[in-house]
């Protein structure tokens, strides 16, 4: 009885395991059946080294699918066509950009989908095509690899040109080096003169500094003297004004004391003033005539006869 019981338990456990595996497989199959995908053909120009079947397809850095197939374009072998599978919810639009990118230092490549505005329509196959086509943009690595041969060729040409230039100008370079050596030797021999010149410059600088100090002291002394002179001038001016004021007061007092005499002179003496002025005018006219005669002919005026003129022999 115990043996039969163990067999029943083992058989029941095995049946449960098989039933669980069947249910799990059915659930997985149902999920796969319910999930739908979209397929696109991505056209690359040039090498797609590092990209393999089953490679990752990302949209803005998130994995949304995989690479289903890689093949060469029959019409143009320089182009590579990659068939990719993406989730149906992936917003692949007509303005979505595709490029080849590399992860880490292992050289594993993936297809990166980027962009796509909300207003742009979804990308669908054209009439008569099985899959919608996207032209991939060249990645930075592809541009680097494609331009590397040309860059190396240019570098080789540059090195060759430099070698030719050095060979042609080797004599000139040797002359320049020799001139530099000569100049260095002359500078070393003239070190004493250079030191003396520097000492002279230092002496001149100190003399200029002393002269500046002397000029500054002279300016301060001049300012002091000018300030003293101005004060003296102002003092003398005040004294002169005071003297003129005292003189005016004295004249006023004299006029007041001699008012009677001044009135008598004004009444009696002013009558003789016109006669005095007339005689004075006549005297002035006579003096003017005498001065004119003496100026025109001084000999006649002084000696009473004309001066004899002589011709000076030449």
Domain boundaries, the chain: 35-137, 188-257, 270-299
Predicted pLDDT of residue 67:
94
State which H helix or E strand residue 176 sits in: helix 170-189
Predicted pLDDT of residue 292:
61
Query: Which of 68, 69, 66, 120 has its CA nearest to residue 91?
Result: 120
> Across the chain, what does the average pLDDT equal?
73
Q: Name which of 23-37, 177-191, 264-278 the model is least confident about.
A: 264-278
Among 100-104, 119-123, 295-299, the range of highest mean pLDDT:
119-123
CB of 95 closer than 8 Å to CB of 115: yes
Predicted pLDDT of residue 219:
64
CB of 91 closer than 8 Å to CB of 122: yes
Predicted pLDDT of residue 42:
93
Q: Name which of 114-123, 251-260, 262-271, 272-281 the model is least confident about.
A: 262-271
Q: Is the dihedral of CA 84, 90, 94, 96 positive or negative?
A: negative
What confidence tens digit (pLDDT) does each residue in 255-272 have?
A: 666 666 556 555 555 555
Look at residue 90 and tell me whether its pLDDT is greater than 70.
Answer: yes
CB of 141 closer than 8 Å to CB of 114: no
Kindly list the distances between the CA atom of residue 184 and the CA atoms of 114, 173, 181, 188, 197, in Å, as whole numbers in the listed order. 65, 17, 5, 6, 18
Predicted pLDDT of residue 313:
47
Among 44-53, 78-87, 158-167, the range of highest mean pLDDT:
78-87
Residue carrying structure tokens 């505005």: 117
Predicted pLDDT of residue 314:
46
Look at residue 174 and tell me whether its pLDDT is greater than 60.
Answer: yes
User: pTM to 2 decimals?
Assistant: 0.40
pLDDT: is 294 or 93 the higher one? 93
Predicted pLDDT of residue 82:
93
């Amino acid at each position: 009885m115990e043996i039969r019981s163990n067999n029943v338990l083992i058989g029941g456990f095995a049946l449960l395991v098989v039933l669980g595996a069947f249910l799990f497989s059915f659930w997985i199959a149902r999920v796969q059946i319910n999930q739908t995908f979209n397929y696109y053909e991505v056209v690359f120009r040039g090498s797609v080294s590092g990209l393999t079947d089953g490679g990752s397809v990302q949209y803005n850095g998130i994995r949304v699918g995989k690479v289903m197939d890689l093949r060469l374009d029959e019409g143009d072998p320089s182009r590579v066509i990659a068939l990719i599978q993406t989730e149906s919810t992936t917003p692949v639009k007509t303005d979505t950009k595709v490029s080849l990118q590399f992860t880490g230092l292992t050289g594993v490549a993936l297809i990166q989908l980027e962009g796509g505005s909300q207003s742009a329509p979804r990308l669908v196959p054209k009439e008569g095509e099985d899959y919608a086509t996207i032209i991939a943009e060249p990645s930075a690595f592809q541009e680097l690899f494609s331009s590397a041969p040309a860059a190396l060729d240019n570098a080789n040409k540059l090195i060759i040109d430099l070698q030719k230039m050095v060979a042609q100008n080797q004599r000139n370079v040797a002359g320049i080096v020799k001139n530099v050596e000569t100049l260095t030797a002359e500078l070393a021999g003239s070190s004493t003169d250079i030191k003396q010149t520097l000492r002279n410059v230092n002496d001149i600088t100190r003399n200029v500094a002393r002269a500046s100090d002397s000029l500054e002291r002279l300016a301060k002394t001049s300012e002091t003297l000018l300030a003293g002179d101005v004060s003296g001038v102002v003092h003398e001016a005040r004294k002169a004004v005071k003297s003129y004021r005292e003189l005016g007061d004295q004249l006023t007092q004299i006029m007041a004391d001699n008012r009677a005499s001044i009135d008598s002179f004004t009444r009696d003496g002013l009558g003789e003033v016109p006669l005095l002025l007339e005689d004075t005018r006549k005297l002035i006219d006579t003096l003017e005539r005498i001065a004119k005669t003496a100026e025109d002919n001084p000999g006649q005026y002084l000696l009473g006869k004309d001066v004899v003129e002589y011709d000076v022999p030449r």
